[in-house]
Structure formats: C-alpha cells, structure tokens
Amino acid sequence: MTQPKITRWTARDIPDQRGRTALITGANTGIGFETAKALATRGATVILAVRDTDRGKAAAEEIRAAVPGADPHVQHLDLSSLASVRDAADEVRGTWRCIDLLINNAGVMYTPHSRTADGFELQFGTNHLGHFALTGLLLDLIPATTDSRIVTVSSAGHRMGGPIDFGDLDWHKRPYNRTAAYGHSKLANLMFTYELQRRLPAAGPLALAAHPGGADTSGSKNAMSHSSALTRTAFAAIRPLLLQAPAMGALPILRAAADPTARGGQYYGPRGFQQSKGHPKVVRSSAASYDLAAQRRLWDLSEELTGVTFPR
C-alpha cells in the first residue's frame, strides 16, 4: 500500500515498535535521550549505550516515569576506546537476540586537541571510528529486513573544514582546527552511511543518516564553552533563532529510524531555513560526502585503524 506523504512528521507518526529492540548511543541526554524516550513510548525496548552509567541510570528512571511499562536498559560504552567498544559489543551479543534499530548518536564537538585511548584525534576517533567499529561488531545481530535500520547522526557542520585529509587524520602535520576536525568527523559519518548502504544486502537492513539541525543540547552548550567570550555572547543572542528543543532535534533521527517510507542511503534533517529548525524531511549533504573513491578509502582505512572487518 502506498504510504501517505507527511509534511509535518512528528513522533506521533512512529509506527508501533512493540517487540523491537533499539540501541541508542549517547542516550542519557539531549537528542539521544529524546530518541530513546520516543521509541519507548511506541513500545520499543531501548538500550541506552552511555559512557557514564550513573547518568544512564538516571535517564532510564526518567523514561520509566514518563512511559508506563517501559523497561530501558543501560549499557556501558565509551566510543573513545576501542576496547570499550568491543566489550560493549560482547555484552550486547551475550544479552540480546537481535537489535532492530542501531542509532549511532553519541559524539563530541569542538574539543581541544586531544586523543582517544587508541591515539586517534578525539573527534574523528569518537564520532566516526567508534561507531564504525560498533556497527561492524553488531551487524549480524541486525535482522535482514528493511524495517531494521542503522542510523548514524551527522551534522550540518559536515560542510566545515573541506575534504578529509587522509594523510593527516591525527593533525600531526597541520595546526589543529577543532571546527574543521569536527566537520571531518561528521563528513565521515555520512560517507560511512553511504558506503555501508551499498554493501548491505538488498533485503536489508537499511543504512541512513540524519542531523538534528540546531538542537539546544548540553553538547552545543559544552561546545560553546571552548569558544571566546565574544563568540559566546554573540551566540547567546541568536540562540533562540537558530536552535530548537532536543525533542524536535530528535525527529530527523526518529524518521530515519522508523518511517516505513524511508529508503537506504537517505539523509534526514529539518525542513526550515538552513535546515536549522523544523519538521524532518530528506535533505542533501555536501558534494564531498558523495565522493565514491573517498568513501571507499575511508572504509578501508577505518577497517585498518579499528581492526574491525565487516562481513562481506
């Protein structure tokens, strides 16, 4: 049956999720939390994969209080450590029969120059390599159906910083630019999604990407804390014009994860001015994100750096 076109898609349009399991990284706060709560409201069993388990437990209690009958689970996961990613994947595999929705949401933004436990630049290592490894390690738990989804959260910031410099991913050869480094990590999220979709079987699951627009979250506040006083003052003045509540920011992720009409390789974002606010729709990413040769190079390099090889 042809699905009706919805121009103002909301969480009320999420189909019944009873009997389905969703794992959401970074689900203790912001858009990750709102994504988990919305899916739980529709009946999904949600796994909050978080670095800080105390905050994860508090978020789980908040979901239980808001959603009668919900039983969220907390899973420790530090995406900046490949050992933690492997441990988390092993624990998930030992506990859950399948993961219907894998939502790669967690991330760091505009951080000072620092490195992951494995020596990678922090933003690229956490935002891309950690999720790349997690997806590869859990892929065979995701049912081969188009109702199963792998949704990776990118950002409008993927356009910042130009193409990825594959010869200097760790910024050894250039002065560190945290804005460009963040942009590269979010560009990598998109390139990973598009290449993953080509490698998945026709029967599914589907790989999609989404971005929240300007979401007023703790992540955006923390990012601004690293900026100059002048920048913080200017941003505070325009914040209401550019940012929307986390529940609205979660809608593109939720639509990519749950809309029956969504197709593999699509990218969802807000429909408003400059994709900063509004209800979700399919949007276009930068020309650099569609570079097939760069996507394949990133994939091969990511397998080499993480030691995680996807099923062929």
Question: What average pLDDT does this structure show over 42-56?
Answer: 98
Q: Is residue 62 part of a domain?
A: yes
Q: Is residue 85 part of a domain?
A: yes
| pLDDT of res. 275 | 67
Q: How confident is the model at residue 7 (pLDDT cuts 50, 70, 90)?
A: confident
Q: What is the pLDDT of residues 61-112, one digit of tens each?
A: 999 999 999 999 999 999 999 999 999 999 999 999 999 999 999 999 999 9
Which pTM does this prediction carry?
A: 0.90
Can you give the pLDDT at residue 94? 97
Q: Give the model confidence (pLDDT) of 110-155 as tens digits.
A: 999 999 999 999 999 999 999 999 999 999 999 999 999 999 999 9
CATH number at residue 112: 3.40.50.720
CA distances from 184 to 54, 126, 151, 269, 289 (A): 31, 12, 18, 18, 10
Distance CA 92, CA 85 (A): 11
State whether residue 86 is helix, strand or coil.
helix
User: Residue for token digits 């690229």?
Assistant: 124
User: Domain tally for the chain?
Assistant: 1
Is residue 239 domain-resident?
A: no
Which pLDDT does position 76 carry in this prediction? 98
| pLDDT digits 0-9 by tens, 256-309 | 999 999 999 999 999 866 667 888 999 999 999 999 999 999 999 999 999 999
What digits encode the pLDDT tens for the residues 184-217? 999 999 999 999 999 999 999 999 999 999 765 5
- Does residue 218 surpass a pLDDT of 90? no
Residue 232 has pLDDT above 50, yes or no: no
Range of the domain at 261: 15-213+247-305
Asked if 268 is an active-site residue, the reply is no
Please list, in sequence order, all residues whose beta carbon lies within 8 angstroms of the beta carbon of residue 151, skipping any fewer than 6 positions away: 101, 102, 103, 104, 207, 208, 209, 210, 253, 256, 257
Judged against a pLDDT cut of 50, whether residue 2 lies above it is answered with no
Residue 144: inside a domain: yes
pLDDT at 224: 47
Q: Judge whether 68 lies within some domain.
A: yes
Higher pLDDT, 53 or 162: 53
Position 278 scores a pLDDT of: 86
Q: Is 116 part of any domain?
A: yes
pLDDT higher than 60, residue 4: no
In a domain, 233, yes or no: no
**Catalytic residue (choose from 110, 182, 194, 268):** 182
Q: What is the mean pLDDT of the chain?
A: 91
| Pairwise CA distance, residues 87 & 23, whole Å | 15
Assigned token pair, 66: 């808001």
Per the model's pLDDT, the better-predicted residue between 104 and 239 turns out to be 104
Residue 285 lies in a domain: yes
Closest to 189 measured CA to CA, from 144, 246, 140, 253: 253
In the chain, % of residues over pLDDT 70: 88
SS3 assignment, position 44? coil
